[in-house]
Structure 1
Amino acid sequence: MKTRITLLLTLLFFVGNVSFAQQDEECMTKLSIFHEYVKAKNFDAAYQPWMDVRNKCPKYNTAIYIDGEKILDDKIEKASGAEKVNYINDLLKLWDERAVNFPSKTAKGEYAAQACQLMYDNRQLLNKSDSDLYECFNAAYQLDKETFTNPQSLYTYFSLMVDLYDAGKKPAADLFNKYDDVVEKVEDEVKNYSENLNNLVAKEDAGTALTNKEEKFKRYYESYLSAYDQISGSIDQKLGDRANCENLIPLYQKGFEANKGNALWLQRAAGKMSEKDCTDDPLFFKLVHAYHGLSPSAKSAYYLGILKDKEGKISEAISFYEEAIKLETDNFRKADLNNKIGLKLKGRGNYGRARSFFREALRLNPSNGRPYLSIAGMYASSANDCGDTNFNKRAVFWLAADEARQAARVDPTLRSAAAQTAENYMSKAPTKADIFSAGNSGQVVKIGCWIGASVTVPKI
């Protein structure tokens, strides 16, 4: 009897394995069929074999979900009305299925935000309110902030908050907190992509050619940095004057006592007042000193420098700015501090010292071209003061153009504007006729005063 049972179990096991093997073979064949159709963009032909594999072997291969998204995107684009709604809902379902069947290959925040964006893009058809959509994005953000990185979705998330604030459904405190959340997230992503790009820029500067793979990564990093740069401007534009001093000061005055022991609240409040130039109000003084006393940091030292600036105590302000740089341990943020301090010195006309801070910012973050443009602008502004002859004054514009070209070379967000700036400076530099008249083709011209640099006259 025992032997018969063993034989029966063996037979069932064998039959089961044959069944699974046949199923796998069928799924493999149909997966190959629909994948080839997808590659040829024949999505209609791909649909049925894809659905067969999706239903029979949902764990067979991630191509079910990667190609399935393309197939359903095509269906959504071509459909309308109820049929389109069905395909949208099926795509949302597909992403849920992917999360169940391939959890390690499905970033929760990324796909949750993607689902919210799909609903937002079809909000009228799906009858979704701003509140519904905001709660969707907020849940995605809370679920997995690390992978909620899509620039468009980050902007949509914040835009919905502004719309709800304007409709009286969200208070000002929630609006400004969400602004800080999203801006900090964008800054984190910019830092990440900039650091990756910096490695490639450093390799190129050392004279080493990038591999094909590195070239692709470089374009990828530059693409995302351009996208984040675009939405940063859009986020600030969407916030507009809602975050003006008239709104910020009473809000933070009201919350100060309850939050004077909350370093994050104090830092954000001081930061927002600094951004919006509300630093003349006594509240800014209270915020900065409370923040620095509670949690001395690079940011608190920088804000103390702003206070000393306002008091006209320039040397003390510089001391605090330099302390901020020493306290900052992250090179990307240290570069940002150097650039901010350089801008303050530039605004005061202290060009020589400003350039030192700009050069340090470039050393720490070589893919940010803004310090190059600032240096170029200072050179151009100093042309009349730093040249001893008319020719040499105009020669300063060669230096300015070279700095602008450097900005265009390293920074994808400035490429077009920096190139145009360089052309503008070149139009003010000596012409071939001027060089011929001066008889100094190929010679080195020394530029004096704070610039203290040399430029070689182009050969004609």
Structure 2
Amino acid sequence: MKSIVLKFLSVFFIAALFSNCTPKTQEVIVPVVEEEKIVRPKTPDNPCTTLSDLNGYERENTETAYVLYKDLVKTKEFEKALPLWKKAYYTAPAANGSIKYQFEDGIAIYKHLYNETSDVNLKSAYVDTIIAIYDKRIECYGERAYIAGRKAFDYYYYFQNQISEDSIYALFKSAIDVKGEKVDYFVVNPFTKILSDKVLNQSITVEEGGFYAQKMIDAIAYGNKSGKNQEAWSIINDYAPSRLENLEGVKGLFSCQYYDKKYMQVFNENPEDCEIINTAYRRLSWGNCDKESASFDLLRMAKKENCYTPPPPPGPLKLAYEAYTEGNYIEAVDMFAKFVDETQEEDKKFKYNLLIAKIYYGDIKNFPKSRQYALKAAENNPSSGEPYLLIGKLYASSGPLCGPGRGWDSQIVTWPAIDMFEKAKSDPMVASEAQKLIRTYWQYMPKKEDIFQRTIKAGSNFKVGCWINRTTVVRTAD
């Protein structure tokens, strides 16, 4: 029996902990339990009993329980595995002093029991047991920060009704505060979602939001360079960077260093592109960078050589453009809106409502406000396709806002986007661009298999939620 157990304990186990989860906000990137031999110092008062601490008869029975329960877990016979797991775990929770899969298996068993019952009290008890197993693992093997991330992950995806979002946020933070840029990959997407929401609903300070946003940026950069868990980082790259970039619309959240590093790199690659030059100048201004810095010197020189436009005549529009050029987006929007309210010329109302919509889209990152002003522009000039082109881009850009960046929730935003592009095609001035965008985004729509699984028919009406909140027509990419 001992030889069987020793052979069994030498196998590399990857826990299948999360196969039944349906993500609500992002594609779930499950923690993978990697093989890691840990030498546990043996001291007389250590609470984590090992098999070697047991007498011959008790050790034999416990080893047998380990083998038998594991076979049942492999075949997902969790109810049958439970009493044997209890025997093994509660008698020798540290097993041979190196392996940790017994903790993962216990968590998997109790997650199964949690999913199988509708009894609220039982659900709560099962979650308490799962957390106790995590705590015991810390007691035996340390890794407090890693386990904090695991607890937060489980609460976020599986047990949200058992704990407040503030508590989940605090757990994630405790992991990030210790591990920094080396924080475990499965923390990044859910924490980014919570962080972004808290920043936008102003339940945390701008300073705190900026601090942890930069932590996530650093973690993503480190993770991509590490070469490990590449599939997981691919999923992260489809979601977290876009969510973090949308926070650029919050004044003061990111530092000057963030804007300088990001936008001067783009400028250096395209030093004569006027749009890039002006964008970099505005972003550095928005980030409160020193106007006497070397970066601004380069941008001013590039603007002078590549971006000259005759200044508008003195008046409110001149002041509005100056505010916008200097990265004072909110002030510029207010000035342009005031001009629109005061002018009686529909063409000017159209032009500046559309400009306001573009500022909200590209600079302030407020998509609902952008749509609001684009629709006003459409009222000013019903024959123009430009407002609908912009709204289509807003919808098409909302994959990471309304879903994980890939998969169903992110794919269905293409339906209302294509509705808008189709509407824009009626304007010959933008028809070519609209058709190009339709071809681009058509391939990202759900496939026939995706809608079949959800008992949805092609051609039927479907309401896309999130901030879009519009009824559209179901289409498939194939």
TM-score, scaled to structure 2: 0.44
- Structure showing greater radius of gyration is 1
Q: Which has the higher contact order (CA 8 A, sep 6+)?
A: 2
Point out the structure with the larger helix share.
1
